[in-house]
Structure 1
Amino acid sequence: MDINQRGIEAMQKGEFEEAATLFSEAIEQKPNNPISYINFGNLLSAVNEPEKALKFYEKAIEINEDSATAYYGAGNVYFNQENYDEAKNMYEQALKKGLDQGDLHFMLGMCLFNLGQNRLALPYFQRAVELNENDSDAKFQYGLCLAQLELIDEALVQFEEVIELDDQHADAFYNIGVAYAFKEKSEKAIEMLNKALEIQPDHMLAGHALKIMNGNMEK
């Protein structure tokens, strides 16, 4: 097992000091190997040292401008700092350099969604779901994006698939309830909102929506 792999294993076990030592040795042995810098950047991100992490990702890109995972790592740093424009730029570079993973498409979608560009976000969420059909987070965000664009039937499909994967997903039940309310299927909407509150009793949005629905039913 090479030294970088040993460092990754140490990091996965939470042995961060050991991982740092191994990645440092890897850099000393092969200073022109971008992978060691990316791994160190990932480690620094994991221990909440984002600015230091960025330096390592930048060094990896300096050594090899086609280091797709370095752009992805930098994108994650910017995303966590809520710098969605810069994160989007980094993720787009990762995509251009050949990284075609569900997580990357999901994060690009999240950037655009947070920037209010829902229509542009939609194909990235769709691709994320295609690449990983069991990713409930991707399905949920895809559903939200469809709902924002008033594609209610398509959104419902995604939310229902979310609860098939995770039957404790209160937000998915809430959004199914809202979708049924939009379609004027009041009984079904109330059933779904009650389910959301059963899972999460302090779900304020579900509670508020249920009061409105019950009030309308009493009229």
Structure 2
Amino acid sequence: MFAIKAGAQSPAFTIADSLYQLGNYVEAINAYAKEGNEKSSLQIARAYTAIGNNEKAIAQYLDIIDKNPNQVLAKFELGKLHAKTKKWEKAQLVFENLTVAGTENPEFYYYLGSALQKKGDSKNGNEALKKAVELDSTHLRSIYLLGKFYVGAELPSMAHEILDLGLRSAPSDPALINLKALTYFNNGNFVEAITLFERLLEMGEFQPFIFKKLGYAYFKNWEFDKAKKNYRSLEQIPNFEADAYFGLGEVYLMEKQLDSSKIFFKKSIEERRYVFDEEYKNLGRIARLQNRLKESLDYYTKAWEENKADFFSYYQVCIMADEYYKDPETKLRNYQKFLDDFDRAPSFLRQRVKKRVSELKEEMHFAKK
């Protein structure tokens, strides 16, 4: 009978709980405050979190922990709140404390690993995430973060290994399927990537990046009609028209339909709100194939002006100016500028330029005689 009484809630606490469940958090806080015990303090912290008053929630959690350093639940919720508010250093400290305590809880290691990754400490973050997976091989959030890191770090074998582990327990998880598709895509395995991206579409994941990746994968796989289909789907999504037009421009260029390709590259330029160096380079290439040397020169010049660190664009400026102009001094100035401005360009390219500079100087020398 004593045990039953000890575990029973007071009528006031029951009323406070009802208010909390109904979302009347302010009234619930006032009701819990009348109880003055640890359980009601925990509920007050949760209510403050629910209404978005994170500072008061954190203060409440800290007060609970100060009075009872063994209150693991308060620490856990405090750590998650620090993570939610992107206070990664504080989140790390809380979850380090929880993991040092010897509690073999994969959630603690997941949040610790996530906080460390956010701070830029990938090495220790990944170790914590691996520990979470070691404790629970179905811990998908830890698997996802590890997979995402391996994909970004271009470690395909490690990415496939961890993602396959996750897919064994959750074979239809779209986030894991997407990461595995990206692993194949980034490694140039377009056939495998296509299969997985198509599966995502079948699952209803009509995301713009899927259409974009599929369009490019089909393009690289020489399946031009399917590439166009996906770029046309991408075209229907607001703010992605430029990417769609650029992709279509590439496909038509590969098919040698130069006029159509030119139209789409120009449409891509019209839609974009930033640099157009790739579009201008492709337009320059088209003009050159059509033997429109001055037009090609102008487009490559625009590409270089959009991105003056691009040595390839300026090299094309040199080549087209060399073909278009008759004056060797004009040609020489361009090549010399290349050597002066792009000392980190590939050595084979610099050697070509140096050779042409020597030829032009020799030509000018003999012309004076």
In structure 1, what is the Cα distance between the partners aligned to 2:241 and 2:76?
Answer: 40
Q: Counterpart in 1 of 2:190?
A: 152
Q: Deviations over 1:99-143 (max 9, x none)?
A: 632111111111222222121111222333444455433222211
CA distance in 1, matches of 2:125, 2:136: 17
1:141 matched to 2:165? The reply is no
Match of 1:109 among 147, 151, 172: 147
Pairing partner for 1:66 from 104, 115, 118: 104
Distance in 1 separating the partners of 2:243 and 2:137:
37
Contact 1:102 1:127 in 2 (8 A): no
Question: CA RMSD, aligned part only?
Answer: 2.8
In structure 2, the partner of 1:41 is 79
State whether residues 234 and 240 of structure 2, in contact with CA within 8 Å, keep that contact through their aligned partners in structure 1: no
| CA shift for structure 1 position 152 | 2.9
Match of 1:96 in 2: 134
What is the correspondence of 1:181-192 to structure 2 with a 5 Å cutoff?
181-192=219-230
User: Do the aligned partners of 1:69 and 1:99 also contact (CA within 8 Å) in 2?
Assistant: no
2:124 maps to amino acid: E
Matches within 5 A, 1:1-219: 7=45, 11=49, 14-28=52-66, 30-64=68-102, 66-98=104-136, 100-133=138-171, 135-202=173-240, 205-217=243-255, 218=257
Letter of the 2:148 counterpart: M
Q: 1:99 to 1:177 in 2, by over 3 A?
A: same
Amino acid at match of 2:81: L
TM-score using structure 2 length? 0.52
- Distance, in Å, in 2 between the alignment partners of 1:203 and 1:77 is 36
Sequence identity of aligned pairs in percent?
Answer: 16
Cα distance change, pair 161–25 in 1 and its aligned pair in 2 (3 A)? farther
Shift of 1:8: 5.2
CA drift of 1:173 comes to 0.7
C-alpha displacement at 1:145, in angstroms? 0.7
Structure 2: gaps of 5 or more residues: 1-16, 18-38, 259-369
| Displacement after TM superposition at 1:83 (Å) | 3.1
After superposition, the Cα gap between the structure-2 partners of 1:129 and 1:5, relative to the gap in structure 1 and judged at 3 Å, is farther
Structure 2 letter corresponding to 1:156: I
Given residue 39 of structure 1, which amino acid in structure 2 is its aligned partner?
E
SS at match of 1:199: coil
The higher radius of gyration belongs to 2
Moved more, 63-72 or 200-209: 200-209
Corresponding pairs, count: 219
Secondary structure, in 3 states, of the residue corresponding to 2:111? helix
Q: Do 2:178 and 2:200's aligned partners in 1 also have CA atoms closer than 8 Å?
A: yes
Q: Read off the aligned partner of 1:55 and give its amino acid letter.
A: L
Report the Cα distance in structure 2 between the residues aligned to 1:6 and 1:129, rounded to whole angstroms: 39
Greater shift after overlay, 1-10 or 35-44? 1-10
CA contact (8 A) 2:194 2:217 kept: yes
Q: CA deviation at 1:14?
A: 3.2
Sort the Cα spacing of 1:164 and 1:11 in 2 relative to 1 into closer, same or farther, 3 A: farther
Give the C-alpha shift of residue 20 in structure 1. 2.2
Which has the higher relative contact order, 1 or 2, with Cα contacts under 8 A spaced 6 or more apart? 1
| Partner Cα separation in structure 1 for residue 50 and residue 232 of structure 2 | 39
> For residues 15 and 179 of structure 1, what CA distance do their matches in structure 2 show?
47
| SS of the residue 1:14 aligns to | coil
Q: Residue 107 of structure 2 contacts residue 132 of structure 2 at CA under 8 Å; is this kept in 1?
A: yes
Aligned equivalents of 1:44 and 1:152: distance in 2?
41
Distance 1:130 1:10 in 2: 39
